[in-house]
Amino acid sequence: MKSRREFIKIGAVGTAALLTQTACAADDKSEDNPIIATETIAIKPIVLSTWNHGIDANKAAWEILSKNGTALDAVEQGVRVTESDPENQSVGLGGLPDRDGYVTLDACIMDHNSNCGAVAYLQDIENPISVARKVMEDTPHVMLAGDGAFEFALEKGFTKTNLLTEKSKEAWLNWLAESEYEPQINSENHDTIGMIAIDESGNLAGACTTSGMAYKLHGRVGDSPIIGAGLFVDNEIGAACATGVGEAVIRTAGSAIVVELMRHGKTPQEACEEAVARIISKHKDLTNMQVGFIALNKKGEYGCHSVYAGFNIAVRHTDFEEMVDAQYEMEW
Ligand code: GLY
């Protein structure tokens, strides 16, 4: 078995750019200097999001951020692109269904004032992130689930839409024919889109949305609609988002932990690494336990890390737009 260091060495190749940029973002990354609100923001606006689909999502977010729009509007409009892409089989329209053939969606959103909204187990609505925003802005609650979330969405003017595309239906039928009747867990079916951003005013916001684990048990809800698990934003400190096996992220309060680690002086990269280490230490069986974190601090420094190889993030800023391969702890 290869050592952790060897694995990191393999993963570090694609991460050189990330490390260079974070080093450029701010010189002072001492652990003795916790990030506080009054520090100068070196990079803004900036947006980062999970996986390859983050490139198109970032484009939509950048349209808003580059015109002095808010981070909240940017992350909502950004992830809507992925939700509405029928070719993407892990988010919104075209998402792979649960084992009974239902596409059920989870999403949450959080702003710089710690306002947040979420929907869980929502069906037949293409853009759950916008329903989550309505929950945040138009109700005294944080989360609506199931039929209640659906009825609320209709009341707010959202349209009932069949989310099960022919492509996803066919994949599900193939799975039914060839697989054991259990949820599958692998690297392909866990590509939630999580997006975090800082706007020109220096405010942070984040959004997270998914159709969840493919062929999951009917009724299963993952980390993506849970504030503190799939997403957390503290405007004094930074923001973090998770992707991967939601159960592991919930068990470790993943995104909240990343933000708390930054509060105590860790860089975004170090915070993501420690959160991944915690996932690993809390699970005896790590088979297919892929989890990845992205983090952004108040200064615009960012980082990402994952349990297994293959996780990447899309980054957009005035001076650059690129994909970054995350460092990781293990190979598949
Ligand atoms: N992280 C997405 C899920 O587990 O549903």
pLDDT in tens, 89-130: 999 999 999 999 999 999 999 999 999 999 999 999 999 999
* Residues catalogued as catalytic: 192
Section 206-227 average pLDDT = 96
Put residue 228 in one of left, alpha, beta given phi > 0 → left and psi -120 to 50 → alpha: left
Whether the CB of 212 sits within 6 Å of ligand 1:
yes
* Ligand 1 in reach of 192 Cβ (< 6 A): yes
pLDDT tens for each residue of 13-38: 233 333 333 333 333 334 443 333 33
pLDDT of 332:
86
Using CB atoms within 10 A of its CB, is residue 32 exposed (0-12), middle (13-18) or buried (19+)? exposed
Q: Give the Å distance between the CA of 246 and the centre of ligand 1.
A: 4
Is beta strand 302-308 parallel, antiparallel or unpaired with respect to 291-297?
antiparallel
Ligand 1 pocket check for 246: Cβ under 6 Å? yes
Do residues 107 and 128 lie in contact, with contact meaning Cβ atoms separated by under 8 Å?
yes
**If you measure from the C-alpha of residue 190 to the centroid of ligand 1, how many angstroms do you get, rounded to a whole number?**
6
Residue 104 Cβ inside 6 Å of ligand 1? The answer reads no
CA 245 to ligand 1: nearest atom: 4
Q: Where are the beta strands (DSSP E) in 62-168?
A: 105-110, 116-122, 143-145
Q: Is 213 near ligand 1, meaning CB less than 6 Å away?
A: yes
The phi, psi pair for 28, rounded to 5°, reads -90, 100
Give the closest residue to 241 by CA, choosing from 22, 48, 72, 35.
48
Whether the CB of 223 sits within 6 Å of ligand 1 = yes
Query: Which tokens in the block code for residue 271?
Result: 């915070």
Separation of CA 26 and ligand 1 centre (Å): 32
Q: Residue range 46-68: average pLDDT?
A: 96
**119 three-state secondary structure:** strand
* Residue with more model confidence, 187 or 130: 130
pLDDT given for residue 4 in this prediction: 33
By residue count, the chain amounts to 332
Identify the band that residue 182 occupies on the pLDDT scale cut at 50, 70 and 90.
Answer: low
Edge-to-edge, what's the strand order for the sheet holding 320-325? 143-145, 116-122, 105-110, 204-210, 193-198, 46-50, 312-317, 320-325
Contact 185, 247 (CB under 8 A): no
Q: What is the pLDDT of residue 149?
A: 98
* Site to substitute for ligand 1 among 98, 184, 190, 288, most atoms within 8 A of C-beta: 190
Gap from CA of 41 to ligand 1 centroid (Å): 32
Supply φ then ψ for residue 182, to 5 degrees: -140, 155
pLDDT at 81 over 50: yes
Residue 244 CA: nearest ligand 1 atom is 1
pLDDT confidence of residue 270: 97
Distances in Å between the alpha carbon of 318 and those of 14, 59, 65, 199? 21, 12, 10, 12
Ligand 1 atom having least distance to the Cα of 222? 5
Nearest CA residue ID for atom 5, ligand 1: 212
**In the predicted structure, residue 252 carries a pLDDT above the cut 60:** yes
Strands, sheet with 302-308, edge to edge from the N-terminal-most edge strand: 231-234, 238-244, 291-297, 302-308, 327-330
Percentage of residues of the chain with pLDDT beyond 70:
84
Tell me the range of 180-184, 185-189, 294-298 where mean pLDDT is highest. Answer: 294-298
**Ligand 1 touching residue 224 (CB < 6 A):** yes
Average the pLDDT over 174-198 and give the result.
74
pLDDT band at 72 (very low <50, low <70, confident <90, very high): very high
Q: How far apart are CA 202 and CA 235, in angstroms?
A: 9
Is the omega angle on the peptide bond into residue 183 within 30 degrees of 0, that is, cis? no
pLDDT at 157 over 60: yes
Report the mean per-residue pLDDT for the chain.
87
Nearest alpha carbon to residue 296 among 193, 155, 202 = 202
Whole-model pTM above 0.95? no
> Domains along the chain?
12-330 (3.60.20.30)
Question: Which of 192, 211, 226, 291 to mutate to test ligand 1, by most ligand atoms within 8 A of the CB atom?
Answer: 192
Report, as an integer, the average pLDDT of 269-277. 98
Nearest CA-CA partner of 198 in 120, 293, 301, 327: 301
**What is the phi/psi pair of residue 325, to 5°?**
-80, 130
- Separation of CA 318 and ligand 1 centre (Å): 31
